[in-house]
Structure formats: structure tokens, C-alpha cells
A and B are shown apart, each in its own frame.
Chain A
Amino acid sequence: MPKLHHFHGGLHLDGHKAESLTQGLQQATLPERLYLPLRQHIGQYNKPLVDVGNKVLKGHVVAANSSLIRAAVHAPSSGTVSAIGKYPIAHPSGQSDDCIVIDIDGKDEAADPHIKDLTQLSPPELIELICRAGIVGLGGAAFPASPKIARGKTNGIDTLIINGVECEPYITCDDILMRSYADEVVRGSGYLQQILSPKTTLIAIEDNKPEAISSMSKALKDNSLANTELVSIPTIYPSGGEKQLIQVLTGKEVPHGQLAFDIGFFCQNVGTCVAITRALEQDQPLISRIVTISGDNIARPGNWETRLGTPISHLIELAGGYRQGDRGHLIMGGPMMGFALSGSQVPIVKASNNIMVTREETIARTPGYHDECIRCSKCTEVCPAQLLPQQLYWHTRAKAYDRTEEFHLFNCIECGCCSAVCPSQIPLVQYYRAAKSEIRATQKAQFKSDRARIRFEFREKRLLLKKQQDEERRRLKREALNKKRATSDETDSATDPVQAALERVKARKKAIQEEST
């Protein structure tokens, strides 16, 4: 067991995990229709590869793109593509986005798997298989797995960290996953070892999950992974954040502007390990995930293994409906970092680890109004990024965005600790998110105007060049003409042909006039 360290600040939160653990993992039934957003990862939009009316089998690629950071979308079950268009998706804006809609035929027919002998495959080939399966980080951030692994491979990895921490309240999907699929987690870690060949592997689990720890240690023994250790870490939010976890396990900080693999660490979520195992062993792409349904307004909280694209309303029905009234306030993700959903028609996507169903009043703060900052620094005390949240707040309020950057706004991981403890109850994170989106918009506009300048200047140059060329051509022509004229002057004493023609015309006119008179 390595010596554990601390990160700055953090919070001890009420876990609320027992509620959704009273039942084991359940398989969600198929809804009639699946809504698959074209983009379910961080990166560029996928393009649909199917048309309305196409039949698809479970596991068929329905949307993909060819950029570097990519994750394809696969049909989670067999059926017919019935529409491609804008539907509500899980996004803080509550807006709609491009989705492929599949009407399920209920047969759940799968395409034939191509199972390879994994021991014969080289790391790049394994990475390619993971890429084809459309796997993203299932901890909530949804960063595509294969480019991350590829970068890790080129940078060289010292320590592989398997993240089973799950520090946010209410969420238990990783807990139940480790209890139910411990073997697959361990085998997935094994494949990551095969690709990355790290010196050590640490599997980190918070100490409030004793059952997950015991089933994982059993699986570890059964599979005998080399240089692998199971580490139980103290329960404190946000120890599941990549940077915080690295700090807890090793005491090292990821330097500003760098990523974990730049200093030899590679973190992957336990759910992602299972997805990798299934992709490699069974040629099964990422078409389902475990979703926790929890909160104080759901009748039977629990965990369901759910096909992607399943509307949340379907899951709410499976969980026994609302406890009170006919609607609830829905949050995707945990209460600390999640976001509110526009309604229950929103589908489950790769990033949906948890759906919180609450009575409205349990989360509502009066929107907009809050007390003024009293500079008490309680926010500073809890900030795991060691920032000065109140300074960020003052500068955001004054719309002095360049000053927020001086105070390291972009180091903020939006963990919400500062908002939670602020005695003035300022929604600090919302200020930071607003500042970040404002800065990003400015950068985008700057990028665009820089491009426009380049194109404008290029055009000016081109026009100038064209003008010069035209002039040059005209000059050459004139010169040639002059030369010709000079030579014709010498050889032929006749005058300019134009002049001659004019004179001829004149002469004829004169003749006609004379005739008429």
C-alpha cells in the first residue's frame, strides 16, 4: 500500500449512496425508440452514416467522423432508423441537437462479432479496436479513450491508475459495477497494461465501498495482474478528480498546462475498463452503460444497465416513477458537478453516470439573488485547485475576464466546493462557467478574425500581383506592337492601317457627296 497524501481543501459530503444500493444491478428493458445524439464525446460532431429507413443491427456504426479525437456511435439494438434531426439532449443549455432515432424491432439482433486472438495483437492494433468500439471515459467527462491511450503510449506511462473512487454523492454506478463485473474491470486493466506497459498499476477505491473493495481484491487474486495494487483511499470530495487522485496516491501535482500523461500517469475509470474488455474480447462496441437513478423523488432508486439512447422517462418508469407529483427536477451527473436537464425525454448518453430525480425545492436557490461576498475565504479553504475563488468572483462580476485568467480561472475544475460552503451562498461556479464561456467565445471570435485578416491580406496581395501581371502583360504587348510598327514603318512606307482605313472611308464619303450634288 503506497503512502497516501492529501490534496488541498475538499469537503466531507453526505454520501446518500445507500439508497440506490438496496437493489443489485438490474438490466433495463428496451424502450420503443432510441435517440442517439451524434456527438456523445468531447470532440467534433459525428456524421450520420445511415439514412432514414435503413435497417440497423445491434453494434452497427451509425455515426462517425475521422478527426483525431473521435468516438463513433453504434446502434444499441436492432431496428429501423426512423428520423435524423434535432431532439432534446443532455446539455446544460437545455437545447436540442442532432440525433439519430431508431425504432426498435425488439429482436435485438447483433451483427456477427469478429473475435481476434488478443495475445497476437500489437498495442496500436489494440488501440484501433478500442477506437472502433467508440469508447469514451465513462466517469462523466466522456473524453475518447483511444486517443488518450495512444498519447499515453507515446509519452510513456509510469503508473496506471484505475479510478473507482466515485466521490460524488448519490452516484453508485461504479460501486455496483465493481461488485458485479470485478473480473472484467481487472481484465480491462490488464489490457491497458498490455498496451501501456506501466511500472505499477494502482486501483483506487474510496473506503466507503467495502463490498466493491472485497470483490475487486478477489478478482485481482483470480487474475493475478503484475505489479498491481488495490488502494483504499479516504472518502473526501473531490478525490475522484484525476488531478486530485494523482495527488492522493503519489503526492505529485500535474504541472499547469500539462496533462497527467505528460508526467507519466494514466487514469482510466473502472467502467471504461469493462467497456474495453467487452470491445476486445467480444467485439462489442459501447452501446450500454450502468446508470444510477437516485434522489429524493424517485420511488425505487437503483442501478440499471441501460442501452444508450434510452429516454430517461423510460428509466424513471422502471424505477417506479416519481415519489411525489408527476414530475421531478432532473439532474444528470452528481449534485456537485452535474447539470439540470430540460425534461425526461432526454436520452441516456455515454456520459450519463447518474440521473438525480429531486423535488424542486431541495435544490432550488433563488435564481439570481445572493448576498454579497464578505471575503471570508471559506471558499479558499476548500478549493482543491488552491485558487482564490473570491478573487475570481470579484473579477468575473466586474467582467474583467483577463484578470480572472491571471487568477488561473482555467485551473478551476468546477467541483463546486466553494459554492457549497460560501456563507453568502453565491453560486460561484456559475460565475466561473459564465466567465469561461465568455472567454472561449472571445477566443473563437479572435480566431475567426485572424483567419479573415489572413484571407483578406492574401486577397490584397493576389489582386496586387494580378494588377502587376496585367500591367506587365499590357506593357509587353505595347512594346511588341511598337516594335512591329517600327519594323513595318521601315519595310513598308504605308501609314498606320487605321489611318489608312479612315482615309479610305473619308474618300468614299467625299465621293458619295460629290455624286449626290
Chain B
Amino acid sequence: MILAILTISLMAGLFGLILGYAAIRFKVEGNPVVDQIDSLLPQTQCGQCTYAGCRPYAEAIANGEAPINQCPPGGQSTIVALADLLGTEVLELNAEHGEHLEVPLVAIIDEQTCIGCTLCIQACPVDAILGAAKHMHTVIEDECTGCKLCLPPCPVDCIEMIPSVQTIDDWKWSTPRDQLELLKDA
């Protein structure tokens, strides 16, 4: 009896030491979890998740303050990837935050109406709008993330969100199984 207790405490102590040593030996600097989460988020920087951008949301997830289903631009695939990374359950996208669009949006500025106020430039999180004061502005389509943050500040409502142009290169083969689903639905 005593021997058993002794052995077990000894083993517990030993493993404790090993774990403690490993924790020091393999300590990782910084907070890579935030980086990893951030790298899975779509970087639209739209704030639909109620945070001021993707990174703050990533921090909130890492701190356990936010669930993983608040990012509409990322949609289900991002949720799955996050669940995979964090080892948590896969959730449905929370509809309160918005709806996932298959084809991302881009902003276009109606260049006739634009008065060159620069307000949209200040709002754009990724510097995707070009222009100078009192000159017409334009959106660099490739850089626009479709976050819609430039819409509210525009005093003349000249910015519109349109589905981004899908070229022939964006076309995807679908699997016979998915096709079968399609046929069934039709």
C-alpha cells in the first residue's frame, strides 16, 4: 500500500518535472495562436464580427472572448478551419453578423458623381482607393476587399458594391456528386 502510494507520487513528481522542463525548453515566444487564427481570417477588415478588424477578432478568439462563427466573409470554410486549428466544435455562421457571399464584392466609385472629398480614402482599411482632394477617386479593384466601410462616409453616395468580376480562370470543376445534388434540386 505504502509502496504503491510512494511509486505513484514518485512518478507524478517525475512527470511533473519533465513537463515543467518541456514547458521551459519548448517555450514559444509571442502569441502564435493569434497569428495562426489571423492567418485563417479573410482579412476583409470589415468589422462585421463587431471587432475593429480581423486581428482584434483573432485576439478575442484566442482569449476565449468570442466564438468562432462571427465572420461572414470567411463563411463556413473559415469556421471549419478555425475549429480545426483550435480543436473546437464546428459552428454554424451566426446570421446576426451577416451572410456569406460566394462571389466577393468590390466597390466602384461613380466617377461622374464623385466630388473628391477624400472621406472614403480615409475609411478604406487597405488603402484601395486612389485620388487626391477635389479630384475624382477610383478603387483599385484587385486590392479592394469588399468591406463596405467606404460607403457610409461618402456624402454623395457615389460608391456602389458590385460582385467582383469572375473570369474564366475562376471557374471551377464540380464533382459528379455535387452535380448529382444539383440535378436532384433542379
Residues of A within 8 A of B (CB): 89, 91-93, 95, 97, 367-370, 396-397, 426-427, 430-431, 433-438, 441-442, 445, 448-453, 455-456, 458-459
Q: Which residues of A contact B175 (CB under 8 A)?
A: 396-397, 430-431, 434-435
**Which segment, of B13-21, B36-44, B90-98, B109-117, faces chain A?**
B36-44
Across the interface, do B42 and A445 meet the contact criterion of CB distance under 8 Å?
yes
Identify which of A89, A430, A433, A459 contacts B126 (C-beta below 8 A).
Answer: A459
Contact residues of B between 131 and 186, Cβ < 8 Å to A? 143, 145, 167-168, 170-180, 182-183
B118: Cβ under 8 A from any A Cβ: no
Interface contacts (Cβ under 8 Å), in number, total: 84
A461 to B170, CA, bound (A): 33
A120 to B39, CA, bound (A): 55
8 A-B residue contacts at CB 8 Å? Answer: A368-B179, A445-B42, A448-B43, A450-B43, A452-B143, A455-B126, A455-B127, A456-B54
Give the nearest-CB partner of A452 in chain B.
B43
Give the nearest-CB partner of A91 in chain B.
B168
- Which 8 residue pairs spanning A and B have beta carbons closest together? A368-B180, A452-B43, A449-B43, A433-B173, A93-B171, A437-B172, A455-B126, A434-B175
Give the nearest-CB partner of A86 in chain B.
B168
Tell whether A456 pairs with B126 under 8 Å between CB atoms, given A368-B177, A431-B176, A434-B178: yes
Name 5 extra pairs, CB < 8 A, besides A438-B172, A452-B42, A456-B125. A434-B173, A436-B173, A452-B143, A458-B127, A459-B127
Interface centre among B42, B53, B125, B173 (most CB of A within 10 A): B173
B45: Cβ under 8 A from any A Cβ: yes
A449 to B54, CA, bound (A): 11
Across the interface, do A368 and B183 meet the contact criterion of CB distance under 8 Å?
yes
A95 to B171, CA, bound (A): 9
Tell whether A441 pairs with B170 under 8 Å between CB atoms, given A452-B43, A459-B126: yes
| Interface majority SS (helix, strand, loop, mixed), chain A | helix
Across the interface, do B177 and A456 meet the contact criterion of CB distance under 8 Å?
no
Across the interface, do B171 and A456 meet the contact criterion of CB distance under 8 Å?
no
A456 to B123, CA, bound (A): 12
Q: Which residues of B contact A458 (CB under 8 A)?
A: 127
Across the interface, do A434 and B53 meet the contact criterion of CB distance under 8 Å?
no
Tell whether A452 pairs with B176 under 8 Å between CB atoms, given A95-B168, A441-B170: no
A445 to B74, CA, bound (A): 10
Identify which of B38, B42, B176, B182 contacts A370 (C-beta below 8 A).
Answer: B176
Q: Which residues of A contact B43 (CB under 8 A)?
A: 448-450, 452-453, 456
Give the nearest-CB partner of B44 in chain A.
A452
Identify which of B44, B145, B183 contacts A367 (C-beta below 8 A).
Answer: B183
Across the interface, do A397 and B126 meet the contact criterion of CB distance under 8 Å?
no
Range, interface on chain B: 20 to 34
Q: Which residues of B contact A97 (CB under 8 A)?
A: 167-168
Tell whether A93 pairs with B168 under 8 Å between CB atoms, given A368-B183, A449-B41, A449-B42: yes
Whole-angstrom distance between the Cβ of B136 and the nearest chain A Cβ = 22
Whole-angstrom distance between the Cβ of B174 and the nearest chain A Cβ = 6
Whole-angstrom distance between the Cβ of B105 and the nearest chain A Cβ = 13
Give the nearest-CB partner of A368 in chain B.
B180
A459 to B122, CA, bound (A): 10
Interface string of B18-50 (1 = CB under 8 A from A): 000000000000000000001101111100000
Q: Which residues of B contact A93 (CB under 8 A)?
A: 168, 171
Whole-angstrom distance between the Cβ of B138 and the nearest chain A Cβ = 16
Give the nearest-CB partner of A437 in chain B.
B172
Q: Which residues of B contact A367 (CB under 8 A)?
A: 176, 179-180, 183
Q: Which residues of B contact A450 (CB under 8 A)?
A: 39, 43
A159 to B60, CA, bound (A): 59
A451 to B175, CA, bound (A): 30
Across the interface, do A430 and B173 meet the contact criterion of CB distance under 8 Å?
yes
Give the nearest-CB partner of A435 in chain B.
B175
Q: Which residues of B contact A396 (CB under 8 A)?
A: 175
A226 to B104, CA, bound (A): 57
Across the interface, do B173 and A452 meet the contact criterion of CB distance under 8 Å?
no
Tell whether A434 pairs with B143 under 8 Å between CB atoms, given A368-B180, A449-B42, A455-B126: no
Q: Which residues of A contact B176 (CB under 8 A)?
A: 367-370, 426-427, 430-431
Q: Which residues of A contact B126 (CB under 8 A)?
A: 452, 455-456, 459
Whole-angstrom distance between the Cβ of A460 and the nearest chain B Cβ = 8
Whole-angstrom distance between the Cβ of A342 and the nearest chain B Cβ = 12
Give the nearest-CB partner of A95 in chain B.
B168
Across the interface, do B125 and A459 meet the contact criterion of CB distance under 8 Å?
yes
Q: Which residues of B contact A370 (CB under 8 A)?
A: 176
Whole-angstrom distance between the Cβ of B31 and the nearest chain A Cβ = 16
Give the nearest-CB partner of B53 in chain A.
A456
Q: Which residues of B contact A89 (CB under 8 A)?
A: 168
A449 to B143, CA, bound (A): 10
Tell whether A456 pairs with B174 under 8 Å between CB atoms, given A91-B168, A95-B168, A369-B180: no
Interface string of B73-115 (1 = CB under 8 A from A): 0000100000000000000000000000000000000000000
Identify which of B53, B77, B127, B177 contacts A397 (C-beta below 8 A).
Answer: B177
Whole-angstrom distance between the Cβ of B36 and the nearest chain A Cβ = 13
Q: Which residues of A contact B183 (CB under 8 A)?
A: 367-368
Interface centre among B143, B172, B176 (most CB of A within 10 A): B176
Q: Which residues of B contact A449 (CB under 8 A)?
A: 41-44
